[in-house]
Structure 1
């Protein structure tokens, strides 16, 4: 039977990523409604924050996959969770196409997580049998887009690979390369922690951090709901302020 062990510390770390993401999106929405004036596409203050947020999300996804495999997660259970993520990714594409028809999201963070989880799940057994295999594969995935780019990968139907010659015009973009590398590093770190320092993930959590753990456990639901709520509230405030 799968273990019922809770990993509140991992949930809390995922909760940190959720809060950071929500704060980032709130600022983005303020900019969209003209309350502030920032360039979220070129200003390093915002672009580097996005890199850090996506990295934290994908590292947590790798840690979570390590926990799932440690608990004996079956393929049917994996596919049930995967279907939720993929379905939400499709909704994100639809919603963004309505709001940003020229820069809609064809392969954002949820699309990326859905694809990368399948790849990581398939790659985990053979790579884990090689000493440092997951770490080396992660490093290769991160380095490859810096070494190889081709115009073939610049279309909406191929840019999901990541070997693009320029970043596509889209509101969110998280291609398999290089981001699979971060997830694989999370998986490698998770396997090591579970084998040698399990309490780092499964130890008791201070009561003050319990709300973060709760957010982390409902991260997908929060992700799907927070932007409609933020946009709706800001739209109402702007309309009432006119």
Structure 2
């Protein structure tokens, strides 16, 4: 009898229509990069909270340093969404929609919590909202990296150059291309950030090709605590602000 070769769990070569789709492979470098983004976010929000408690003075809406700092954080997060879509492209639809539902639920919780804390500037379309919607919109292009890259460049260009009064409406500001930034504590519209997700798809394919996959798989270079942080990024995102605010309420 011939022995069938058993496909390893997490093998990205698994067929998309497999009855039990493989779990997406983990790469230490990707988890570490996501963990690095989480660390930057913690620094940013800690500084924001210090300013909120009037311990320091900082203008997060106009200061070039803080605007650039935030831009780096958001870029890392949303680009890694595109990379992760490539890594998980052979996972089952059920797994995809389960993950989407989790992120969407967390986004809704953030909106509710921010409304309680900042009723005049609560979050209507922040980073989690953008990740949830962009994941759905970008998924059809996950196997077409060149098209994804071209579409991504176009969306980034439009998002940064086209500003129309039509999108100033509170019901449409999630699209982007507004003439002014809405009054909200976190704003990550689809234009231009969906474009960064699509560019991340192209990066994901580039990384997995031409032997680069072995480099990403090694965990010897990336500290274990950083990969752990990246693998638990959603949990950390959801709990870090209550923890930081709670600590500052006690010590200030």
**Is this a same-fold pair by TM over 0.5?**
yes
Give the match's secondary structure for 2:47.
helix
Task: State the distance in 2 between where 1:40 and 1:229 align.
Answer: 21
Structure 1 counterpart of 2:28, from 8, 31, 38: 8
Task: State the distance in 2 between where 1:201 and 1:167 align.
Answer: 38
As a proportion of its length, which structure holds more helix? Answer: 1
Task: State the distance in 2 between where 1:75 and 1:201 align.
Answer: 26
Counterpart in the other structure of 2:42: 22
Structure 1 counterpart of 2:223, from 175, 191, 209: 209
Structure 2 counterpart of 1:113, from 120, 124, 131: 131
- How far is the alpha carbon of 1:203 from its aligned partner? 2.2
- Alignment partner of 1:39 is 2:50: no
Counterpart in the other structure of 1:76: 94
Counterpart in the other structure of 1:200: 215
Task: State the distance in 2 between where 1:159 and 1:3 align.
Answer: 35
- Superposed, which structure 2 residues align to 1:98-109 within 5 Å? 98-109=116-127
Counterpart in the other structure of 2:81: 61
Give the match's secondary structure for 2:142.
helix
- How far is the alpha carbon of 1:3 from its aligned partner? 5.3
Provide structure 2 residue ranges, at least 5 long, that are not aligned to the other structure: 1-20
Task: State the distance in 2 between where 1:65 and 1:5 align.
Answer: 11
Structure 2 CA distance for partners of 1:4 and 1:159, relative to 1, 3 Å: closer
Give the match's secondary structure for 2:209.
helix
Provide structure 1 residue ranges, at least 5 long, that are not aligned to the other structure: none
Counterpart in the other structure of 1:85: 103
TM-score (norm 1): 0.91
Counterpart in the other structure of 1:161: 175
* Greater relative contact order (Cα < 8 A, sep 6+): 1
Task: State the distance in 2 between where 1:170 and 1:35 align.
Answer: 22
Instruction: Determine which structure has more spread, i.e. the larger CA radius of gyration.
Output: 2
- Cα deviation per residue 1:182-224 (whole Å; 9 max; x = unaligned)? 1111111111111221123222333x61000001000000000
Task: State the distance in 2 between where 1:5 and 1:122 align.
Answer: 20
Equivalent pairs counted in the alignment come to 231
- How far is the alpha carbon of 1:7 from its aligned partner? 1.2
Task: State the distance in 2 between where 1:95 and 1:233 align.
Answer: 18
Task: Decide whether the 8 Å contact of 1:5 with 1:202 is kept in 2.
Answer: no
Q: Over aligned residue pairs, what C-alpha RMSD do you find?
A: 1.4
Structure 2 counterpart of 1:180, from 170, 194, 203: 194
